[in-house]
Structures are given as structure tokens and as C-alpha cells.
Amino acid sequence: MTANWQEHVSLKPYNTFGIDVRARYFVQAHDDDEVRRALSLASERQLPVLVIGGGSNLLLTRDIDALVLHMASRGRRLLGDDGERVVVEAQAGEPWHAFVQWSLDQGLCGLENLSLIPGTVGAAPMQNVGAYGVEIKDVFAGLTALDRETGELRDFSLAECAFAYRDSVFKRNPGRWLILRVRFALSRSLQAHLDYGPVRQRLLEQGIEQPTAKAISEAICSIRREKLPDPAELGNAGSFFKNPVVPVAVAERIREQFPGVVAYPQADGQVKLAAGWLIEQAGWKGYREGDAGVHRLQSLVLVNYGQASGAQLHALAQRIQADILERFGVALEMEPNLY
């Protein structure tokens, strides 16, 4: 066993739900060599491996009888600059929000709508993270990943990532690709995306008609802080359910019974429903059972009030899913990865 391996480590500090389960083995990797050494030793000992970043997309329901590899690599740099388009690269372990703020400090635009999202840079492409009308795919310039089957490094283009709504080739092939660093194509001029959610209204309330990227970021941060609990104060993983995408006929059937349904037409002709609206209409907002509950201000967020287990939160999520399916005929999909 190498010096930086630990045994029977609590993962409570490494998941934003604050679930206190233990990892059989635990190691932090700060660079490619440490990643390779950890994977090699795990292979020799025939240990399964769970790779984690910020732990903001995990629901841990049991002790992890495996090696938990925590990506702790840091670093960000400019790779190319033609005066307008700027390509930047960040290591997988970089905290996402800090990276967004760094890009804004460099005078770069493109990531402002993705402010205050928890997690790390390496985890962001896994589920094509998005918020307020912008997704990772919209600013993506490539990434480097380690193929755990062959040990080789591979660079991925936008097309090769096969990004979809909260999905990617990496999420569809769990355990194969380990993302090491990600590249983004940013701009020195702002192309503002203000029409999704209350962003434009918040800026107008502040008297800002021609916002900068930083002003948009600050507005989004203030909105997110109002509607989403801080994981440091109340355990959560942000939005727990994906917004379901349904055929037009399903959306119209629901609208006939519930004229106020929140729905967004999609380019492919389908309709995206607001999962939070469905959950709130079903009466789950603010629900609490023991220390597992639904946030009182945002029905899309499940919370741990202190001592809830992952199994209790999962059971609550399943009850909500069953209720929404019965009431609306719509299946909700969980966003966090379940272990």
C-alpha cells in the first residue's frame, strides 16, 4: 500500500449531502502519475474504483467497499488567444465556481451563466452541466481523459463527447473514462443569455440594462443563493431530478388539467417540463420525514437536515417519483449518481 492510501475513511467531507459512509480505501490524486499509480495498485489488488470530485452529484447509500479516488489536481491556463476567441484549460480537480470566477477575472465571457454550480471541472462534462440557458457543450473546446481499459490518454472533441441533456458519452460508459482536464472556448466579447429564468428581471431590478459578464454572474449567484441551500449549511446535491422531456401530446394533456404548468418547447419538437413545478403541485415542497426532506423554498432539492442516511433520502426520492408518475403520467429521473 502506498503512503497516501488510507483505510476506512469517512466520506462525509467529500459529498455535499454530508452522508457519513466509509470508504474501504481512499486516496487523493494531484496529477496524472498519481492517478495511474492508484489505478494500477487497485488493479493489482482487484479492487473496484469509485472516482469522485466535489461530491456534489452523489447519493451514498452504503459503505463503499472499493478504492475511492478523489481527484485533487489543480491548475488552469490559457492555451490560445486570437484576440477574440480564447481557449482555456483547467485540471479536473479545480472547483468549478472558482474556475468560472477566474475566467471572468481574465475578462473572458461564456461561463457567467454557470456561476455558483457546485462540483469540479472534471465532473462538469460528465452530465453536460447547465443552468440559465447555457450548457457545457456551448463553451466546450475539448478534454483529455484516461482510458481505464487501455491506460492510454485520449483527447475528445465536442462531437465525440455526444453531449445531450444532462448526459454524455462519459456518463453512458461509467467506469471507463477518467477525465483529467477540460478545455473551454471563451470570448472577449459578451453574447448574453438572459431569457431563461429570472435573470433579465433581476438585472433590470438592479438598474442594469447593458450588463457585463460579471454582472450576469453576480445576478445568477444572488438568484441561486435565494433558491438553493448552501451545502455547507444544509446537506444537498442541488437539483435532485432532471426536468423531464415529453412529447407535445403529454404536455398538452397536463396543461388541460393544470393550465399553469411550466413548460419549455424544445428544438426537437418535444417539451421540457419543470420537475420542480410538478413536485410542488403534488404537495411535496417543504415535506420532512426525520432528517430527510424536500427544501421549503425549492421543491427540486432534497436535503439532509443532519443525520439522514443515503438510503432514507433515496426512499424519499422513490416516493416522489411514484407520486409524480401516478398524478401526471411523467417519470422523473434522478440527477445524482447512486451508490
Give the distance, in angstroms, between the CA of residue 158 and the centroid of all CA atoms in the same chain: 18
E strands, 188-339, where?
A: 235-239, 245-246, 263-265, 271-273, 288-289, 292-294, 301-304, 337-338
The three three-digit cell numbers of residue 23, written as one number: 470508504
Cell 466546450 sits on residue = 140
Q: Where are the alpha helices (H) located in 157-296, listed in sequence order? A: 158-161, 169-172, 199-205, 213-227, 248-257, 275-281
Residues in the chain: 339
Per the CB < 8 A criterion, the answer to whether 50 and 68 are in contact is yes
Instruction: Give the count of beta carbons closer than 10 Å to the beta carbon of residue 322.
Output: 12
Q: What are phi and psi of 99, to 5 degrees?
A: -65, -45
Catalogue the active-site residues: 166, 239, 335
**Dihedral angle, C-alpha 205, 208, 212, 214, nearest 10 °:** -40
Per the CB < 8 A criterion, the answer to whether 22 and 64 are in contact is yes
Q: What is d(CA 330, CA 221) in angstroms, rounded to the nearest whole number?
A: 31
Q: What is d(CA 328, CA 324) in angstroms, rounded to the nearest whole number?
A: 6
Instruction: Tell which residue, 152, 150, 139, 148, has the closest CA to residue 170.
Output: 148
